[in-house]
Amino acid sequence: MDYRAYEYYGAHKIQEDGKEYVRFTLWAPNAKEIYLTGDFNQWNDNNLPLQKIDKGNWTIKIQGVNEFDSYKYRIITWDNKVLYKADPYAFHAETPPKTASKYYDIKDFEWTDKRWMSKRNSNLINKAMNIYELNLYSWKRKENGEVYSYRELADELIPYINEMAYTHIELMPIMEHPFHGSWGYQITGYYAPTSRYGTPKDFMYLINECHKKNIGVILDWVPAHFCKDDHGLRQFDGKTCYESSHPYRADNDLWGTVNFDYSKDEVVNFLISNAKYWHEYYHIDGMRIDAVAYMLYLNSTGKDIKNQYGGSENLEAIEFIKKLNYEVFKSFPDTMMIAEESSAWPLVTYPTDLGGLGFNYKWNMGWMNDILKYMEMDPVYRKDNQKALTFTMTYAFSENYILPLSHDEVVHGKKSLLNKMPGEYEEKFAGLRLLYQYMYAHPGKKLLFMGGEFGQFIEWNENQALDWFLLDYEMHSKMRKFVIDLNKLYKKETCLHWIDNSFDGYRWIEHENHQESIIAFERIGKDEDKLIAIFNFTPVARPIYPIGVDEEGSYKVILNSDHTKYGGNTKRNKSYKTSKEEIHGRKYTLRVDLPGLSSLYLKLNK
C-alpha cells in the first residue's frame, strides 16, 4: 500500500471519452444506500445514487460540477435512518457554522519554493531551530475585529517572524473544525485547511511565501481522536467505521470526542495518507503529533482497559505510529515528525528498525514542568529545589528534544508566562528573561507560544487577539527586544545548537550551589567553540562571583539579561580577565558580577 488514499477517495476531476466528469468515491461499508446531494443538483436527495463497488466503497461520476460547489453524502443506514455526512476526504469545506464539503481542484498551484525545499532540514540535528507557535484565529486581528486571511497573513506574519529571528512557525491545527473553542483539536475535515481564512491554495500561498523568506512551517496534527459532530466521522454510515465497535474504547470521555481504531486498515490508510497529503500538496516541513501518550496507553483517559496480554499498552496504536513514521520518512526524509509525548515511553525518537517509535523529535515535557514549577516559586524556596535545574541533565540526551513553552502552559488558570513569575513588576520581567536565557542555553531545540515574546500579561484567550498595545509600554517593548537578540544570538552561536544530543556539547561548571541558587555550565559548539552560561535564580546580586574556566584570557559578556536595554539595571557589559586559581576542577577563575535574577553568556576573546 502506498498510502495515497486522497488520490482515490473524495472528489476528483476525470476525463472519459473526451468528456469531463467529477468522480466522488466514499468508504461506507455498512450503508444500505448512498446519494450525492449538493449545489449541482439543487440539493435533490434522490437523483444521484452512488454505486457500491468493492471493499465497502461507493462511487459516482457526474458532469456539471463547478469549483466551490457544496455537497454532502445522504446515507441510508442499515436500520433505515438517514445521515447527511461531509466528505472525509474533501479538500475544501464550507465555513463554520456551515458543515458541507466543497468540490475543489487541489492541483496546479505554482510553487516557487524550490530553493527552500532543496535545502530544508538538511543536517537538522545540528541546526538552530526556534519555533514560534501560534493560533491563526487569535494571533492578530484587523482594526474592525476581523481575522486575517491566509494571504493577508503572508503580509503580516512573515515580516514579524523574520524580525523576531525565528526559524519556524508551528500552527495549531488548521484542519477544518466546527468549533474554534476546540483550538482546532476536534476535527471534521482532515484534508481541508479551514475555510475561515480562505481557500486551500490561499494556504499554499502562505506556506510558499514563508519558504521564500526561509521560514519553515510545522502543522499540529491530531490522529488520536475526532469530534462527535453529526456531519463528521462518528458512526459514519450508521455503524462504527473510524472508531472501535466497543463504546468503552471508542468514547474519549476526557475530551468528549471519539478515539480512532487503529486495528482497521482503512483507518490506518486514512491517517497515514493524510500525513503524506499535507507534505505532498502543502510542502509542510513537519508535523507535531498531538497527544501521543494518549495513543500509546489504553488507560490514558482513566479507563481500566487491557490489551490481549493484560497490559495497558495500545498495541495497535504502537504499530500505527511506527508505520506512520516509517511511511512519512520514506517519502519525505527531510521532514520532522514531532511527538507531544508526556510519558516515560522509551526510544520515542529512535528509528523503528532499532525498536523505536520513529519520530525524530519529542517535546521535553519533563523539563517544561520542572522549570515552570521552579520559576513560579518564591526565590527564597529555590535553594531547596535545585534538582529542578539539575535532574533534567540525567535524561537530556536520551531523545532528540524540543523545549516547549506552549499554549498549554498559558490557559485554564495557569496564568501567562510573565504572570507566573513571582515578585513585583520589574522582577516578573527579570524572571521571564532569566527563564528564556536558561531555556536557550539548555540542550534542545526551542518553542515559544505567541505573546510570550513580549510578555503577554493575561492568559491566552482564543476569542481575541494578543494584547499588542502592550508594546507601547517600555518593559514589554524591551522584553521583545531581548527575545529578538536572544534568537539572533542562538542562531549565530553554534555552541547553543550544534551539539544538542550528547554531553559532547555540554559540561557542568557549577551545579552544587544550592544556597545561592546559582548554576553555570559550558556549551560546546563547532570546532570546540565554547560559551559559558551563568544563572542567578535569586534577586540577590552576587558581585565578583567565581567561575572556573579552562582557558586563560579575557572573557566578554555577549548577552546579559539584566542590561538596561532589556529592562534591567546593568548599563554596560564588562569584560573579565582570568586569574590563575583553580576552581570547579578548572585551572583558571573568572570573577564576574552577577546581578539578581539574571543570566550571563560569556565567550573568550580570541
Calculate mean pLDDT across residues 506-510.
97
Q: What single letter denotes the amino acid at residue 475?
A: M
Q: Is the pLDDT of residue 121 over 80?
A: no
Q: Is the pLDDT of residue 520 over 90?
A: yes
Calculate mean pLDDT across residues 220-237.
96
340 is a catalytic site residue: yes
The per-residue pLDDT for range 386-397, each reduced to its tens digit, is: 999 999 999 999
CATH topology of domain 503-604: Immunoglobulin-like (2.60.40)
Cell (9 digits) for 468: 499588542
The per-residue pLDDT for range 28-48, each reduced to its tens digit, is: 999 999 999 999 999 999 999
Q: Is the pLDDT of residue 582 over 90?
A: yes
Per-residue three-class SS string for 167-213: CEEEECCCEECCCHHHCCCCCCEEEEECHHHCCHHHHHHHHHHHHHC
pLDDT over 90, % of the chain: 92
Q: How far is CA 163 from the centre of its chain?
A: 21
Confidence of residue 485 (pLDDT cuts 50, 70, 90): very high
Cα separation, 407 vs 398, in Å, equals: 25
> What is residue 254's predicted lDDT score, i.e. its pLDDT?
85
DSSP, collapsed to helix, strand or coil, labels residue 301 as coil
The per-residue pLDDT for range 193-207, each reduced to its tens digit, is: 999 999 999 999 999
Work out the angle at residue 343's Cα, subtended by the Cα atoms of residues 338 and 349, and round it to the nearest 5 degrees.
Answer: 35
The per-residue pLDDT for range 2-21, each reduced to its tens digit, is: 899 999 999 999 999 899 99
The per-residue pLDDT for range 428-483, each reduced to its tens digit, is: 999 999 999 999 999 999 999 999 999 999 999 999 999 999 999 999 999 999 99
Region(s) of the chain under CATH 2.60.40.1180: 503-604
Confidence of residue 181 (pLDDT cuts 50, 70, 90): confident
528 is a catalytic site residue: no
Catalytic position from the list 220, 251, 290, 500: 290
**Is 3.20.20.80 the CATH number for 128-228+274-387+402-489?**
yes
Angle, to 10 degrees, between the axis of helix 265-282 and the axis of helix 200-212? 50
Q: What's the chain's average pLDDT?
A: 96
Catalytic position from the list 340, 399, 409, 593: 340
Q: Which residue blocks in 253-392 are alpha helix, DSSP H?
A: 265-282, 292-296, 315-331, 365-376, 387-390
Strand partners of residue 60: 24
Cell (9 digits) for 93: 469545506
Region(s) of the chain under CATH 2.60.40.10: 5-102
DSSP, collapsed to helix, strand or coil, labels residue 591 as strand
CATH top class, domain 5-102: mainly beta
Confidence of residue 528 (pLDDT cuts 50, 70, 90): confident
Q: Is the pLDDT of residue 253 over 90?
A: no
Region(s) of the chain under CATH 3.20.20.80: 128-228+274-387+402-489
Calculate mean pLDDT across residues 332-358.
95
Q: Are 80 and 32 in contact (CB under 8 A)?
A: yes
Strand partners of residue 52: 58
Cα separation, 566 vs 501, in Å, equals: 31
> What is residue 124's predicted lDDT score, i.e. its pLDDT?
86
The per-residue pLDDT for range 77-115, each reduced to its tens digit, is: 999 999 999 999 999 999 999 999 999 999 999 999 999
Cα separation, 212 vs 112, in Å, equals: 8
Q: Is the pLDDT of residue 122 over 80?
A: no
